[in-house]
Amino acid sequence: MIQQRSGRRWQSTEAHPAGGHLPSIATSTFLKPTPDVALRTPGLRYADQTGSDPTKEMVGRETRKMNMYQAVRDAIALSKDDTAVVFGEDVAFGGVFRCTMGLAEEFGRERVFNTPLTEQGIAGFGIGLASMGHTAIAEIQFADYIFPAFDQIVNEAAKFRFRSHGNFNVGKLTIRCPSMAVGHGGHYHSQSPEGFFMGAHGIKIVIPRSPIQAKGLLLSSIRDPNPVIFMEPKVLYRSSVEQVPMDDYEIELGKAETLTRGNDLTIVSWGTPVYHCETAMKMLSHPPPSLAPNVPASVRGAKIELIDLRTIMPWDVQTVAESVNRTGRLIVVHEAGRTGGVGAEIGAEIQKRCFLKLNAPVRLVTGWDTPVPMQYEKFYMPDPIRILDAVIETLNY
Amino acid sequence: MPGPGHAHGHLPSSTSPVTSQLHFFNSVTDGGKQIPTYRVIDGAGQPLEGAVVPEIDEALARRIYENMVQLPILDDILYNLQRQGRIVFYMTAYGEEAAIIGSAAALAPDDEVLAQYRESGVLLWRGFGYDNIMNQCFGTYLDSCGMGKQMPVHYGSKELHYHTISSPLATQIPQAAGVGYALKRDPARRGKNCAVVYFGEGAASEGDFHAGMLLASTIPSPTLFIARNNGFAISTPSSEQYYGDGIAARGPGYGVHTIRVDGNDVLAVYSATKEARRLCIEEGRAVLVETMTYRVGHHSTSDDSFAYRPRKEVEDRKRLDNPIVRFRLFMESRGWWSKDEEAALTKRIKQDVMTAYKKAESLPKPELKEMFTEVYGGELPWNLKEQREELKKLVKKYGDSWEPWRNELKKHKGEGKDLLQ
């Protein structure tokens, strides 16, 4: 195992993705470069943990440098359940994003297998398996192609337990799908459809931001007694790299994580844009000369609280409302288009809970209400400059 | 195989022999003929020439007959209850008694059944009982299927291996492939059980039918597909549903063993299903049975089928080819049944159904708080907790003064007080 040298950012050993690393990810302080920091990741609960204090449980644990696809693969392999099967299009050779590399060899083709190219079939098949109490880990190759399975997910998986009053359930179903933009994905390799599933009561929706998060949240999703859609931001598969604890651990669903503390403004985001928010915060306090005229000195010292929502449904309203009641300002950042998006739901709920504490309108920094456009992506995405601008305007409101 | 193409070999991606002949084909059988319909007894209850009557003793025959007979009696009563506004909806199975009971009788009692909605006879065969039927249709607090959460006829029973019915058509078909795969992976049930999925010929037009057949054949899974081709999907005749040779013709396209059966001949259905089940489990693969019937009743209580088909056609079908009459004639020819027994049986079933109906009608609906349960497993999420509190406040405030709520609360067990605690 290669230990990381402290004081110096390390580089991924993986090939660079076609879109190139995003500078915000490569330099992010949210990624854990050393075993010590990784093991102290807040919210980790080791499967073999005996006490309630995770810091005492760190002794002797190992970590390994992983990118997100490796962490996903690690989580699947660790599910420790003979009934668990992994299936989808092209998963047997390792998957088009390598998330299932070597699993077929390790667990056999009966447990890791390709399906014909039918998303409604994949979802239906997984529901059938899960209804029999088997752990079904299904993959939809891109979140953009989950829509043929919309009926199976919304009408069947989500309502399975309710309609039979618990006689049957598909709690052991997890549907993984790569999501969000990748720099050059156009309409159908870029989408963030989490908002569409927010109204599918009975489903949970989870989106990780890093390898440590992906592993812990995926293990929780696989073991959660409800069907979970687990959306993996595909640009992070290779670009986000950190030391990941090797043991079996979970990160609780339904809990947001506060990444930076502040009292002046709350930003809520998830997945890839979390890193854009980090960059925007750096630009706010230390604007590069070209942007300095746009960043008034009065806001540069603003303390911003950045929250990674992690679970989209049921989302952690308590953490967000507590934060906004303290800061009086909220910006929600997501890649999906604005109208009917998750930000609208969060905005309405926070407006209700924090009305008397709000000092500025809730601001949404999102994709525009267009399909994700191929050659215009830089102008479509909620990138650091758009977030920075919203931060300045909200602080100056 | 000799032939002009054989000499040319085949392509790397298939074993199809290359041929120099330009020839289109349009049937899965030789010479463009339709797939035959397997029948054992004729309209008079007599074995067809060359037919092998399945091994069936008097006790089993009587059980099959009694189960067939109960369906129209139960349907008559529940249909009328809906007409009187006592239940909100109902769907009968008139004309399909043989297809449903004949197949149910050929299954093991613990084969996993995923049905569409017109197969409650399978549940009754397994001992579901009229009380459970009535409690589900009336949505009482004793509704074992779904605590009053679904429309009538959406039955289900974990103990009887009958997965809860849902309205979206064909969704159960790919699910069945997954259930079959789970059975195959379970050491306790591998080689012993199969998944059985019922659907109408209309539902077979859904993409999920394609997905299910494809999955159960490609990822070999002991899944028995039983199509009930009754000629109509609500108002749409099967001639507007497909242009090919019914549903059976599709089976071979998926590499699936297939048979078409006279769905009004309970012995043919029994015999075909039994063999289909054996094949299915032995080979661990999908098998397709298409039962040809006629939907004698309306689609549902929300449908008047004489708006799209002549009353005489229906009357003729009822008279000329009634699956119950056909089997009764067979039973009588064996000396297994008499008119006296018939009268006693129908009287007993009517009484039992009426007793169950009266019991259920007097029962309250479930406690109001149940509305928020079983949406999620585990802890109730905050949004639902808060919404339950919101309703609680509203019921407290308006439960006595807002008439629609006041009247409705009286019908629920505990009259809503459970929610207010």
Do the domain assignments include residue B53?
Answer: no
A226 touches chain B (CB under 8 A): yes
Which chain B residue's Cα is nearest to A228?
B376
pLDDT of amino acid A12? 40
Mean pLDDT confidence for A129-157:
98
What is the maximum span of chain A, computed from C-alpha positions, in angstroms? Answer: 64
Do the domain assignments include residue B415?
Answer: yes
Q: Lowest mean pLDDT: which of A7-11, A271-275, B400-404? A: A7-11
What does the pLDDT look like over B64-109, one tens digit per residue? 999 999 999 999 999 999 999 999 999 999 999 999 999 999 999 9
Residue A314 preceded by cis peptide, ω within 30: yes
Task: Provide the residue type at A142 as one letter.
Answer: F
How far is it, in rounded angstroms, from Cα A192 to Cα A210? Answer: 17
Tell me if B211 and A169 make a contact (CB, 8 A cut-off). Answer: no
> Which one of A119, A139, A278, A377 is the catalytic residue?
A119
- CA distances in angstroms from B250 to B213, B216, B290, listed in the order given: 9, 14, 10
Do the domain assignments include residue B372?
Answer: yes
The answer, yes or no, to whether residue A13 has pLDDT greater than 80, is no
Residue B289 and residue B395 share a domain: no
B219 touches chain A (CB under 8 A): yes
Which of A302, A263, A264, A262 is CA-nearest to residue A285?
Answer: A302
- CA distances in angstroms from A187 to A370, A372, A380, B281, B332, listed in the order given: 10, 5, 12, 44, 68
B193 touches chain A (CB under 8 A): no
Mutation test of the interface with chain B: which of A83, A122, A164, A174, choosing the one with the most B Cβ atoms within 10 A?
A164
Residue B288 and residue B192 share a domain: yes
Question: What are the chain A neighbours of B375 within 8 Å (beta carbons)?
Answer: 161-162, 201-202
CB atoms within 10 A of CB A313: 25
Tell me if B215 and A121 make a contact (CB, 8 A cut-off). Answer: yes
Contact A117, A89 (CB under 8 A): yes
Nearest to B375 among A110, A130, A201 (CB): A201
Residue with tokens 């999703």: A221
Band (B314; pLDDT cuts 50, 70, 90): confident
The answer, yes or no, to whether residue A310 has pLDDT greater than 70, is yes
Residue B378 and residue B303 share a domain: no
Tokens of A231: 């959306």
Which of A124, A312, A345, A303 is CA-nearest to residue A207?
Answer: A312
> Which one of B6, B83, B190, B308 is the catalytic residue?
B308
Residue B101 and residue B141 share a domain: yes
Q: Note the pTM of the prediction, 2 decimals.
A: 0.95
Tell me if A164 and B145 make a contact (CB, 8 A cut-off). Answer: yes
Domain that holds residue B338: 58-362
Q: Which residue has the higher pLDDT, A265 or B304?
A: A265
A156 touches chain B (CB under 8 A): yes
Q: Measured between CA atoms, how close is B104 to chain A, in angstroms? A: 21
The answer, yes or no, to whether residue A186 has pLDDT greater than 50, is yes
The answer, yes or no, to whether residue A9 has pLDDT greater than 80, is no
Residue B257 and residue B335 share a domain: yes
pLDDT of amino acid A7? 38
Nearest to B208 among A120, A131, A160 (CB): A120
Mean pLDDT confidence for A113-141:
98
What is the maximum span of chain B, computed from C-alpha positions, in angstroms? Answer: 88
> Does an H or E element contain A311, and which?
strand A311-313
pLDDT of amino acid B421? 79
Question: What are the chain B neighbours of A83 within 8 Å (beta carbons)?
Answer: 182, 185
Nearest to B171 among A136, A151, A225 (CB): A151
pLDDT of amino acid B27? 78
- Which domains does chain A carry? 23-251 (3.40.50.970), 257-395 (3.40.50.920)
Q: Lowest mean pLDDT: which of A53-57, A228-232, B184-188? A: A53-57
Q: What is the 3-state secondary structure (H, E, C) of A249-286?
A: EEECCCCCEEEECCCCEEEEECCCHHHHHHHHHHHHHC
Q: Tally the residues of chain B.
A: 421
Cβ neighbours for A368, distance < 8 A, ≥ 6 positions apart: A337, A338, A380
Q: Quote the mean pLDDT of chain A.
A: 93
SS3 B188: coil
Tokens of A114: 């390709």
Which chain B residue's Cα is nearest to A172?
B377
Does the active-site annotation cover A250? no
Domain tally, chain B: 2
Contact B66, B279 (CB under 8 A): no
Could you tell me the CATH number of the domain that includes residue B89?
A: 3.40.50.970
Exposure string of A156-186, with b = 16+ CB inside 10 Å and e = fewer, is bbbbbbbbbbebbbbbbbbbbbbbbbbeebb
Residue B195 and residue B239 share a domain: yes
Tell me if B178 and A225 make a contact (CB, 8 A cut-off). Answer: no
B145 touches chain A (CB under 8 A): yes
Q: Lowest mean pLDDT: which of A46-55, A207-216, B99-108, B147-156? A: A46-55
Which chain B residue's Cα is nearest to A114?
B219
CB atoms within 10 A of CB B358: 10
Which chain B residue's Cα is nearest to A125?
B178
Per-position DSSP letters for B216-285, written without gaps between them = HHHTT--EEEEEEE-SEETTEEGGGT-SSSTTGGGGGGGT-EEEEEETT-HHHHHHHHHHHHHHHHHHTS
Among B346, B362, B378, identify where a domain stops.
B362
Residue B385 and residue B237 share a domain: no
Residue B403 and residue B271 share a domain: no
Percent of the residues in chain B that have a pLDDT greater than 90, as a whole number? 86
How far is it, in rounded angstroms, from Cα B330 to Cα B60? Answer: 13
Tell me if A121 and B177 make a contact (CB, 8 A cut-off). Answer: yes
How far is it, in rounded angstroms, from Cα A373 to Cα A74? Answer: 34
Cβ neighbours for B403, distance < 8 A, ≥ 6 positions apart: none
Do the domain assignments include residue B393?
Answer: yes
pLDDT of amino acid A22? 62
B154 touches chain A (CB under 8 A): yes
The answer, yes or no, to whether residue A205 has pLDDT greater than 80, is yes
Do the domain assignments include residue B168?
Answer: yes
Residue with tokens 């081709």: B229
Residue B318 and residue B295 share a domain: yes
Do the domain assignments include residue B262?
Answer: yes
ipTM greater than 0.85:
yes
Mutation test of the interface with chain A: which of B157, B181, B214, B380, choosing the one with the most A Cβ atoms within 10 A?
B181
DSSP state of A109: T
Task: Provide the residue type at A11 as one letter.
Answer: Q
